[in-house]
Amino acid sequence: MASHGIEIRNLYKIFGPKGHKYVDAVRGGMSKTELNEKYGHVLGLKDINISMPAGKIQVVMGLSGSGKSTLIRHINRLIEPTVGEVIYEGQDVCKMSKAELLQFRRMKTAMVFQKFALLPHRTVLANTLYGLEIQRVPHKEAEERARRWISRVGLEGFEDHYPNQLSGGMQQRVGLARALTNDADILLMDEAFSALDPLIRMDMQGVLLDIQQELHKTVVFITHDLDEALRLGDRIAILRDGAVIQQGTGQDIVLNPQDDYIAEFVKEVNRGRVIRADTVMKPGEPVDLTIESGALLEDVAKRLTETGASELTVVDSTGKPLGQLTLHDTIGAMVTPS
């Protein structure tokens, strides 16, 4: 179990030869457009503060150009920050020496890419053990560990195939196996499922959730898809023009969108799959029909319609009643307020 979260503090990234010069101006409120037009520098990230919880999935969501891919590349410092800190296990990744950084990338992080980025000249097996090869793990052990993960992601029998013999979904399974074989605490996923067909994407999300339940890695997941963010994210940060405009649980964001931009986003969301029973329940007399705390409204509605009841009781794991939910309240909460 990963016991450390990732703290991102006051992180700025300004692209261009003299990024440092403009940090103060940006702090003082200069806009992205002004910076670009007047000084020819591009504002990548602006005052990012996120504390990513240990052993959970932190989603960073935003549309293209919002800086989300830039942000994830600061965690393993594929991109140098202009100013700011990325703290992991009490150490600032941004201040590591070259050797320390290589060691950090080898032992603590693994990454999955939008375009898979597999090594085309290597077989599935040789791709999967790449991280261990870089760590100089003896070949026999590396191969054993790689084979385990290849079968775990459902690619048994494809060990000797080359990446371009595989479909996109299968290639990304290789990407995932390659990252997991590293056995690193931090798993960085940069739009890992965005290039896949919707059905295969759902499938891969399931694979990831399954594996996460077992491994509890600190996952940073980048996506532009709100449904994906809500399905996977224990916490979600929404990025726009390089700044975080809201962060919290999926439910927080759906129920209390901070501004019109986010409200517009969450309008189309299936609220039944995001909002939990605990949020909507009201005090009242317990009835026989129960559902466990944390259940989604969709499950509540299903339970009610299946049994033909009009009310149920939300209970905690010991069976203690917490509150009441009627069919009317449930349906009402699932409908997007206009």
Partner 1 sequence: MWDWYEFPSIGRTDLRDLKKAGDEAFKAFSRAYGESLENFFQPLLSFLVWFEKLLINSPWPVVMAVIALLVWAGSRSWQLVLATLASLALIGYLGMWENTMYTLALVSVATLVCIVIGIPFGILMSKSDRMQAIVTPVLDFMQTVPAFVYLIPIILLLGLGKIPGLIAVCVYAIPPIVRLTNLGIRLVDKDVLEAADAFGASPRQKLWTVQMPLALPNIFAGVNQTIMMALAMVVVAALIGVRGLGMEVLKAVNNQYITLGFMNGLAIMAIAIVFDRTSQKFGKRLQKHSEIIHG
Residue numbers of the site for partner 1 (CB under 8 A)? Answer: 76, 78, 101-107, 109-111, 113, 115, 117-121, 130-131, 133-135, 162, 164-167, 182, 188
Task: Please state, in angstroms and rounded to a whole number, the distance separating the CA atoms of residues 71 and 323.
Answer: 41
State the nearest-atom distance from the C-beta of 118 to partner 1, in Å: 8
**Which lies closer to partner 1 via its Cβ, residue 86 or residue 281?**
86
Q: Give strand pairing partners of 235.
A: 58
Which token pair is 162?
């080359």
Nearer to partner 1, 118 or 334 (CB): 118
Smallest distance from the beta carbon of 295 to partner 1, in angstroms? 38
- Tell me the angle at which helices 168-181 and 198-215 cross, rounded to the nearest 10 degrees: 20
- Closest approach of partner 1 to the CB of residue 178, in Å: 8
DSSP string, 218-230: EEEEEES-HHHHH
Nearer to partner 1, 106 or 216 (CB): 106
If the CB atoms of residues 194 and 249 are measured against partner 1, the closer one turns out to be: 194
Other beta carbons within 10 angstroms of residue 272's beta carbon come to: 18
Beta bridge partners of 43: 14
Going 159 to 161 to 166 to 171, the CA torsion angle's sign is: positive
CB of 194 to partner 1, least distance (A): 14
Nearer to partner 1, 95 or 267 (CB): 95
In 3D space, the residue among 39, 211, 113 whose CA is nearest the CA of residue 30 turns out to be: 39
- Taking the complex as a whole, how short is the minimal distance between the CB of residue 163 and partner 1, in angstroms? 8
